[in-house]
Amino acid sequence: MIGLVIIAAIAALAFAAINFYGMKRKDPGNEEMQTIAEAIQEGAGAFLRLEYSIIAKVVVLIAVILLVVVSWTGAVSFVIGALMSASAGWIGMNIATISNVRVSNEARTTRSIGKTLRVAFQGGSVMGLCVGGFALLGLVIVYLVFGVLMKQATPEHLVFHKNWLGISDIPFTMTVSSYALGCSIIAMFNRVGGGIYTKAADMGADLVGKTEAGIPEDDPRNPATIADNVGDNVGDVAGLGSDLLESYVGALVSATILAAYTYFANQHADILITTSLISKLIYLPLIIAAVGLISSMVGILFLLVKKVSKDPHKELNMATFVGAGLTIISSGVAVYLTLKGENVAAIGFNLGALSPWVCAVLGIVSGIVIGQLAEYYTSYDYKPTQKIAASSQEGAALTITQGMSVGMISVIAPVLILGICIIAANSVAGLYGVAMAAIGMLSFVTVTVSVDTYGPIADNAGGISEMAKLHPEVREITDELDAVGNTTAAIGKGFAIGSAALAALSLFASYLYAQAGESASNGIELILNMVNTLTLVGALVGAALPYLFSGILIEAVANAARKMVQEVRRQFKADPGIIQGTSKPDYKTCISISSAGALKEMKFPALLSVATPLVTGFLFGAEFVGGLLIGTTLSSIMLALYTANAGGAWDNGKKYIEHGHFGGKGSDAHKAAVVGDTVGDPLKDTVGPSLDILIKIMSIISLISVSIFSKYNLFSFLFK
């Protein structure tokens, strides 16, 4: 079966390469368009190079720590994970900056929304295929080299080993956790750095250009407009890609780790579990990922070859549903063929060989429902967002109040869906089932990332069409595609949060196994005792942590945006020719401000997420960190849903008014809605996505280090 996984990964990357070069061969349009596109490409490339140079140092540092404290296999896996994630982000960002101008040109030459949609989706598909392909390729390398060749994944090696520091762990769980950590580190920096960049540029461009000078969106006279378009690529493409790659890997790895710990615990508790079954449970996540990847490729191909209608939302949904539908069917076959004949009842699989598949389907269905709920709360086709628009008639204060209300109310339904999914999956296949639900939700991530990446590409294409002053019909086509992209982004965020929650829960269960250590062999109950004051205080601190993290991020965006506002004002004042259209603005200075702001401000929140479980672990021990993880996970899920949905609803509330409701553009309602949108910008595009990564990175760091701080911590040293 591993052959299928290798073929799927290579096929995805080959498909990505075909689409990449196919896109490059397309006509990039006239000279004006190419000049604008080059400026965006240059700015995005420069930022990512600077960002990666900082990340590289952090990666080397962590690799050395893993090498010394855990194992060399962990260090190498970590570097592989970081490389895979960074590659996906880099290629995705590159294809987005190549595609944007070609999408604009397709609209210019064909005046067809369907054909333009196809080109935008082709660009997005490169990112989607790279996410699926690189994630799986890296995992296959880790499985083959460390699991098969070094036999870490063979059942007889799924036991606790002591390293030179006297710290014991199951080597294969550490190896795959380290791989996931590599992906998480890149995701955290890309999301936080990209999120700060994109919103600083966006807010700077809007606050002075649109509000003060009265110039329209994406007007080339606005000095921050190129930085704004660069931000779409570094934040919404590179950030989003590495974020979902990390979620995908986190889900796959959590199932593998759980299988290993389950085997170890059950084996020593005299529960009959065969070596053949445990091998299959360890490889099953990869197999489901492989068939999901192949199904996603079919979904992508479906949209690329068919005659595309004039309804972009329907077409994108169709590609997603084809991918999801085929994944359900193919994963059912794959799971059945893998587990048939095994005594799965012995490990608590209550629906026979298809138990993991049922859980995966639960995850897929939950993901789709959560996505639809996100759409309901954030799309202006529905009441919640329309109510925000209506409230704007009474001023900015009520816009904010109504948006907060929508955001808060929107939390309960997806949480209930997640709760039902978790309970059902656990009933069908235990904690392994919960991990399978996370995998199911992300099994067609390739097609969902393709759809998500299409959004910023269309957004950029709209910017280029505007700046190059293309025919209104062209701008209307790219605007319509951009509007659909906003909806797909909201749905994508729902998926990201839901899958992060499930993956974090699985990783948390693994944490408890790891905390129990070799005593798990006695059939230990996995209990987190909330009456234990260390655990309780850990939970309290953990619940507060996302607020601290979010506050730092919002302040970071505000700091960078403030500098951008000052620069745009300075340029307008220093050279009146800019606004008169007789001289060109200094785009590069604005790009530098966003870059410098993002690079400076991203370090602290990123390091906070890595350092908190380590520092608290070495101070207060594993029970405190257990509470910390629960607190952070619960609080982050709520806050991420709230910020993503409130921000999305504020944004689309403004758009609803701009479409000619409640007075439309220029009305008092519009002014109030612009305030709401600006408040929501850093919430939905910086805070929300970064919280997804926060909970996973903390879970993985804790999982890797629990065996160390269980043994060495200040609290134990002083009081026990």
Partner 1 sequence: MIHYYFIFSPNEALIASQLGPKEFGMYMAQGSKKGAAEQLMFSEISGGFGDHFDWAYAEENCINHSDGRPKHSLYLSIYRVLEHIPLDAFMMTYLVTKDGRTLSLDQEKYSSPANWTGFALYKELCPVPPLIVSSLQPKELGQHIVGGSAKKITVPALIFTDIQVIDFEDMENSGNVGRMYDRNLDHLKECIASLESGKGKKTKTVDRSFNSKFSYQIIDNGIYVVKGEEIIFFRMPSHEVLRETAYDWARSANIF
Q: Which residues bind partner 1 (CB under 8 A)?
A: 212-216, 219, 221, 386, 390, 393, 469, 472, 475, 572-573, 576, 579-581, 658, 660-669
* Residue closer to partner 1 (CB basis): 470 or 700: 470
DSSP secondary structure string for all residues of 73-113: HHHHHHHHHHHHHHHHHHHHHHHHHHHHHHHHHHHHHH--H
Q: How far apart are CA 45 and CA 67, in angstroms?
A: 31
Shortest distance in whole angstroms from residue 558 CB to partner 1: 24
Smaller CB distance to partner 1: residue 91 or 390? Answer: 390
Name residue 516's amino acid.
A
The nearer residue to partner 1, 390 or 461, going by C-beta atoms, is 390
For CA atoms 195, 447, 311, 688, give the dihedral sign. Answer: negative
Residues 577/618, Cβ–Cβ less than 8 Å: no
Supply the minimum distance, in Å, between the C-beta of residue 206 and partner 1: 14
Q: Which is nearer to partner 1, 255 or 669 (CB)?
A: 669
User: Minimum distance from CB of 660 to partner 1 (Å)?
Assistant: 4
- Compute the Cα dihedral for 343, 347, 350, 356 and give only its sign: negative
Nearer to partner 1, 245 or 579 (CB): 579
Q: Are 442 and 499 in contact (CB under 8 A)?
A: yes
Residue (of 483, 502, 500) closest to 648 by Cα position: 483
Q: What share of the chain is helix, strand, coil (3-state, %, to 5)?
A: 85, 0, 15
Task: Closer to partner 1 by CB, 661 or 696: give it.
Answer: 661
Rounded Cα distance, 195 and 688, in Å: 10
Q: How far is CA 16 from the centre of its chain?
A: 20
Task: Tell me the C-alpha distance between 198 and 589, whole Å.
Answer: 15
- Which residues does 270 contact at the CB level (< 8 Å), separation at least 6? none
| Residue 529 vs 566, nearer CB to partner 1 | 566
Do 18 and 123 form a contact (C-beta atoms < 8 A)? no
CB of residue 585 to partner 1, shortest distance in Å? 14
Asked if residues 359 and 437 have their Cβ atoms less than 8 Å apart, the reply is yes
Nearest residue (CB) to partner 1, 219 versus 452 = 219
The least CB distance from residue 661 to partner 1, in Å, is: 5
φ, ψ dihedrals at 161, nearest 5°: -115, 150
Q: Which is nearer to partner 1, 603 or 665 (CB)?
A: 665
Measured from the Cβ of residue 718, the count of other Cβ atoms closer than 10 Å reads 7
Tell which residue, 138, 32, 431, 9, has the closest CA to residue 257: 431
Instruction: Give the length of the chain.
Output: 720
Min CB(254)–partner 1 separation in Å? 47
Task: Select 188 or 578, whichever has its Cβ closest to partner 1.
Answer: 578
Element housing 409 (H / E): helix 396-442
Q: Return the number of the residue (582 or 719) whose C-beta is nearest partner 1.
A: 582
Q: In the complex, what is the shortest distance from the CB of residue 472 to partner 1, in angstroms, rounded to a whole number?
A: 4
**Shortest distance, CB of residue 420 to partner 1, whole angstroms?**
36
On whether the CB atoms of residues 687 and 552 are closer than 8 A, the answer is: no
Q: First CA to last CA across the chain, in angstroms?
A: 49
β-pair type (168-169, 161-162): antiparallel
CB of 496 to partner 1, least distance (A): 33
Query: Measured from the CB of residue 583, what is the shortest distance to partner 1 in angstroms?
Result: 13
Q: Which amino acid is at 323?
A: G
Backbone CA torsion sign across 305, 123, 218, 187:
positive
- Smaller CB distance to partner 1: residue 586 or 668? 668
Distance CA(272)–CA(345), nearest Å, equals 10
Q: Which is nearer to partner 1, 219 or 246 (CB)?
A: 219
- Locate all alpha helices (DSSP H) within 444-532, ordered by sequence: 445-467, 472-516
CB of 399 to partner 1, least distance (A): 14
Q: Cα angle vertex 412, ends 538, 610, to 5°?
A: 35
Q: How far is the CB of 471 from partner 1 (least distance, A)?
A: 8
Nearest distance, CB of residue 198 and partner 1, angstroms: 23
**Of the candidates 103, 150, 70, which has an alpha carbon nearest to the alpha carbon of residue 462?**
103
